[in-house]
Amino acid sequence: MKIQEKIELLRRELEQHNYNYYVLSQPTISDFEFDTKLRELQELESAHPEFFDPNSPTQRVGSDISDGFRQVTHVYPMLSLGNTYSEGEVADFYERVRKALNEDFELVCELKYDGTSISLTYENGSLLRAVTRGDGEKGDDVTANVKTIRSVPLRLHGNFPVLFEIRGEILMPWTVFDDLNKEREAQEESLFANPRNAASGTLKLQNPSIVASRKLDTYLYYLLGKKLPADKHYDNLMAAKSWGFKISDAMKVCRSLPEVFDFIKYWDEERKNLPVATDGIVIKVNSLIQQKNLGFTAKSPRWAIAYKFQAEKALTRLNSVSFQVGRTGAVTPVANLDPVQLSGTTVKRASLHNADIIESLDLHIGDMVYVEKGGEIIPKITAVDLDSRVLVGEKVQFIKNCPECGTPLVRFEGEAAHYCPNDNACPPQIKGKMEHFVSRKAMNIDGLGSETINLLYENKLLSNVADIYELKVADLARLERLGNKSAMNIRTSCEKSKNVPFERVIFALGIRFVGETVAKKLAGAFKNIEVLESATYEELIAVDEIGDRIAQSVLKFFADERNIRLIERLKSYGLQMALSEEQMRNAGDSLAGLSIVISGTFNKHSRDEYKALIERHGGKNTGSVSSKTSFILAGENMGPEKLKKAEKLGVKLVNEKEFLVMIGESENQQQAFTGTLF
Ligand code: IVH
């Protein structure tokens, strides 16, 4: 078979598997088989750039940094819908339509997906561009990002119009949203308030490979174009489904108002079981001719309306505000409320997030407040009922000193949170660090829940994480609530934790901003604790995904003598303080024995960072080109002298992207080849 045919065949096969997995949710091959095929295609494509196709499945993994977004004018403006919260107004809408049409009509009821809207244009069955709503007239061209969304077909099958537009919603599934926020919390990054914000924020990222990792999804609900397959909205969506688009099954043609209300009632309950957020029902006139006859107002179509579900909220009294100190010293204000029922659970506490939010709510003790369960796990206070404020209680102020140790709080520039800086002596910080250390994704030590840690701390058996390894069964068993068996279990689990791999030990140390992913990167880059301890700022930021904030935090951690002593102790107990031999083999010294010249300017790292990267991967950076030069790492505007010499000596040029692939720092590679550690 010819190379080009092989490439095409693999592309078709992978497209089909993407469709089976992301649209039909019925995969027919394993992830591993998929990744193997994708890698094969990637290799063929990079060896044969002449067969490049911007819509190849390999392009979904996201390419390099793109800068800014091009503004595109919508062919058809992206209007919004008139919306209502009342069934009475739905009935009014029905009446208006009935009177205006004065003939039989059908309505289509659909779910109102709560994401960020997108317009996709296809030409000859290929995705041409993806544009955000923007101001309705013009939006951002986010094609590169949208291509990473697996349920968006890059090429269609069947009998589609030559040119058309399809609109829909981009969504972040709840599970992805929860994981993302957990990860952001661990890294002390600000949390997304709900999946909608997370989806639109993700779509605006400048790096499509991060977008790819966020596992966005889509539902399409509106087909536009000069030549559409049918004259009914429902049939057009069914046709679009047959071309490969993800169209919701929660769609119904209704011929009467009671049918519409049944749909609303059913989905108001059933939507709680959906993997993505919905915030209402959209009701549309089915016939396109009737739609045309009804027309538009300045802002929205007369042939459709959105019925919004009530956000679940409750009104209750604010009794007090307490301030909690977390393991990182971040102080979180928590509202204590009169217990109230909300979505099936009793709510007694709600998060107030930070000082700015307290200020903007103008909270006073005794206020009647609205609590809502948004996307977040912890309910939040969304408003104060000012009408019921009779006796004004004390205004809620953010505290100045740590409620646990009295140390004055600090607020770092650009951050919303207040911190207690007394990280080595403030009790909840010490206990929090221990809880983090023993947690499942860190050292995974069983039997040491927060209560036990508290007990051990109070009894002076634990004062830092290293003490955990000095715990004696007899000491443990003597404590109330802990029997001999539990004590033995804790000891066994501590022993087992000595095999926990290096990257998890780094994570367990609880260095600010070093979450699981960053810990992995650090372990992969520096290989053992001694090298990591002495890493310079330049060496740290040369590591993929590590920027100024993390680098500063790592430097600060290792600059503290107490931390160095702690690590020495952990080392002496036998914890893994280096990559295992197997990990070393996998990580590989990819540039061992190579002599590399750097020339030109680069996008991803500075020249100094590339120098550090070469050395870290076992290579040698040399200044001038000679016959001994293995290759030139060639950036933009490479010096003409070096170029001439390289040509003369036949020295290979390797561009930035190729180089990053060589050292395993290409984001493409990490996304595509799941299963490898670094
Ligand atoms: S139809 C001209 N259908 O809700 C009307 N919109 O305020 C085109 N939305 O901007 C929109 N689910 O982002 C339509 N099934 C659905 C929808 C839906 C969510 C969003 C969309 C639109 C907004 C309307």
Q: Does domain 502-579 have CATH number 3.30.465.10?
A: no
Categorize the per-residue pLDDT at 309 as very low, low, confident or very high, splitting at 50, 70 and 90: confident
* 395-413 residue pLDDT tens: 999 999 999 999 999 998 7
Beta-bridge mates of residue 140: 71
SS3 for 472-492 is: CHHHHHHCCCCCHHHHHHHHH
CB-CB contact of 164 with 121 (8 Å): yes
pTM reported for the whole predicted model: 0.55
Q: Does domain 73-308 have CATH number 3.30.470.30?
A: yes
> What atom in ligand 1 is closest to the CA of residue 78?
2
Structural domain boundaries of the chain? 3-61, 73-308, 311-420, 427-497, 502-579, 584-676
Average of pLDDT values for 135-141? Answer: 89
**3-class SS of residue 673:** coil
Radius of gyration of the chain (CA): 29
Tell how far the Cα of 309 is from the centroid of ligand 1, in angstroms.
14
Tell how far the Cα of 196 is from the centroid of ligand 1, in angstroms.
14
Which CATH number does 427-497 carry?
Answer: 1.10.150.20
- Measured CA to CA, the distance from residue 119 to residue 25 in angstroms comes to 23
* Non-local CB neighbours of 268 within 8 Å, separated by 6+ positions: 309
State both tokens at 521: 């990167």
* 491-539 residue pLDDT tens: 999 999 999 999 999 999 999 889 888 898 899 889 999 999 999 999 9
Closest CA to 359 of 421, 428, 422, 418: 418
Q: Residues 567, 573, 577, 582: what is their CA dihedral angle, to the nearest 10 degrees?
A: -170
Ligand 1 pocket mutation pick from 81, 167, 274 by most atoms within 8 angstroms of CB? 81
- Nearest protein CA to atom 2 of ligand 1, as residue: 79
Average of pLDDT values for 618-643? Answer: 86
Q: 275: which DSSP letter?
A: S
Tell how far the Cα of 368 is from the centroid of ligand 1, in angstroms.
34
Note the pLDDT of residue 143. 94
pLDDT for 653 beyond 60: yes
CB-CB contact of 542 with 526 (8 Å): no
- Measured CA to CA, the distance from residue 587 to residue 526 in angstroms comes to 11
Asked whether the domain spanning 502-579 has the same topology as the one spanning 311-420, the reply is: no
- Nearest protein CA to atom 21 of ligand 1, as residue: 117
Note the pLDDT of residue 517. 81
State both tokens at 252: 């119904």
- Nearest protein CA to atom 13 of ligand 1, as residue: 117
> Rounded mean pLDDT of the chain?
88
* 545-584 residue pLDDT tens: 788 989 999 999 999 999 999 999 999 999 999 998 877 7
Categorize the per-residue pLDDT at 182 as very low, low, confident or very high, splitting at 50, 70 and 90: confident
Within 6 A (CB) of ligand 1 lie 79-81, 110, 112-113, 117, 169, 221-222, 282, 301, 304, 306
Closest CA to 74 of 106, 121, 31: 121
Ligand 1 pocket mutation pick from 79, 80, 83 by most atoms within 8 angstroms of CB? 80
- Nearest protein CA to atom 17 of ligand 1, as residue: 112
Categorize the per-residue pLDDT at 286 as very low, low, confident or very high, splitting at 50, 70 and 90: very high
pLDDT for 460 beyond 50: yes
* 243-270 residue pLDDT tens: 999 999 999 999 999 999 999 999 998 9
Ligand 1 pocket mutation pick from 222, 224, 246, 251 by most atoms within 8 angstroms of CB? 222
* Non-local CB neighbours of 669 within 8 Å, separated by 6+ positions: 661
Closest CA to 198 of 115, 140, 312: 115
> What atom in ligand 1 is closest to the CA of residue 111?
15
Q: 636: which DSSP letter?
A: B
Tell how far the Cα of 80 is from the centroid of ligand 1, in angstroms.
7
More confident residue, 146 or 82: 146
pLDDT for 27 beyond 80: no
CB-CB contact of 604 with 656 (8 Å): yes
Categorize the per-residue pLDDT at 631 as very low, low, confident or very high, splitting at 50, 70 and 90: very high
Tell how far the Cα of 86 is from the centroid of ligand 1, in angstroms.
18
Q: b/e map of 456-484 (b: 16 or more CB within 10 Å)?
A: bbeeebbebbbbbbebebeebeebeebee
Note the pLDDT of residue 108. 98
Which CATH number does 3-61 carry?
Answer: 1.10.287.610
Going through 309-441 in order, the beta strands assigned E by DSSP cover 313-325, 330-342, 345-351, 368-372, 380-384, 418-419
pLDDT for 673 beyond 60: no
Tell how far the Cα of 136 is from the centroid of ligand 1, in angstroms.
12
- Measured CA to CA, the distance from residue 68 to residue 207 in angstroms comes to 10
Tell me the catalytic residues. 112
Crossing angle between the packed helical segments 31-47 and 3-18, to the nearest 10 degrees = 150
Which CATH number does 584-676 carry?
Answer: 3.40.50.10190
Ligand 1 pocket mutation pick from 78, 107, 112 by most atoms within 8 angstroms of CB? 112
- Nearest protein CA to atom 9 of ligand 1, as residue: 112
Tell how far the Cα of 94 is from the centroid of ligand 1, in angstroms.
18
Q: In the CATH hierarchy, which fold is given to the domain comprising 311-420?
A: OB fold (Dihydrolipoamide Acetyltransferase, E2P) (2.40.50)
* Non-local CB neighbours of 665 within 8 Å, separated by 6+ positions: 544, 613
Pairing of strands 595-599, 620-622: parallel
Note the pLDDT of residue 282. 98
